[in-house]
Amino acid sequence: MLDFRPMTLGDYAWMKELQEASEQTACEYLPGNIFLWGGLYGTQICRLNDDSFATYSALENRYCFPTGRGDPEAALKIIMRDANERGVALRMFGISDNNRRTLDELFPGLFTYSESRDWADYVYNAEDLINLPGKKYHAKRNHIAAFDKSHRWTFEPLNEHNISACVDFQEQWFAANESKNPQELAQENTVVISALRNFFALGFVGGVLFADGKVAGFTIGERINGEIFCTHIEKADGEIRGAYPMLNRQFARSSLADYRYINREEDTGDEGLRRAKLSYYPAFTPMEYAAIMI
């Protein structure tokens, strides 16, 4: 069997190089995301060869499509053999339309698919989030105007001088909101604190919104490739009108203008989150699939 193991910070550089060389643009394949959420989902990694790596979750008994620049047939045969040796059906998660075509071309009739709408990423035109143009963004602009009128505010790149203030903000946010959903918010809090503690080692990019001298919100993400950026975390004071749209807009303006698209990840089936993501009018929401080898 393959020697799957938890990802460490020392794995980030080589994984990032292989991820960027691949066609994978879904958030599940990003090394920063794998590091942050790997403990919760039991996700482990294995370098298949110099050209690709695979992830496997023993908790959920699933793989992701091999990631890298090498021969996909060779990499897929390796994980097929691994699943056989483990005595489990080969199940893959986060399968894109391109991945599906590759599987059907290489192994016709061997896989069945089911849609995973709850895990489809929301991808936006960067220019839309920067400029919020037209009638459809009227409400966002109104909230931003209200924030601007009510507060003395600044926006800064997240850096060594303000990151501790973001940790304090997150801890206070969690204490104030924990009772709403204790288990889920405790898991999220662990991930957010880890993202802040490992911000520089993971090559993240972020920003901090201040209102009247205090942190009103912060955001963190990582580059997918030269065209697409992925926002992993966006946290703001929900009691401050306009804090979220201002944080979103200012981060896009200050740090993401060189990208064509911004991936703001999935909604996991949460209806409130789905409405919020749709309210920014994604350019596309690429469907993801689960694949099972028959």
Domains and CATH numbers, the chain: 9-120 (3.40.630.30), 123-264 (3.40.630.30)
> Can you state the angle between helices 72-86 and 97-106, rounded to 10 degrees?
80
Cα 158 off chain centre by: 18
What tens-digit pLDDT sequence spans the chain (294 residues)? 999 999 999 999 999 999 999 999 999 999 999 999 999 999 999 999 889 999 999 888 999 999 999 899 999 999 999 999 999 999 999 999 999 999 999 999 999 999 999 999 999 999 999 999 999 999 999 999 999 999 999 999 999 999 999 999 999 999 999 999 999 999 999 999 999 999 999 999 999 999 999 999 999 999 999 999 999 999 999 999 999 999 999 999 999 999 999 999 999 999 999 999 999 999 999 999 999 999
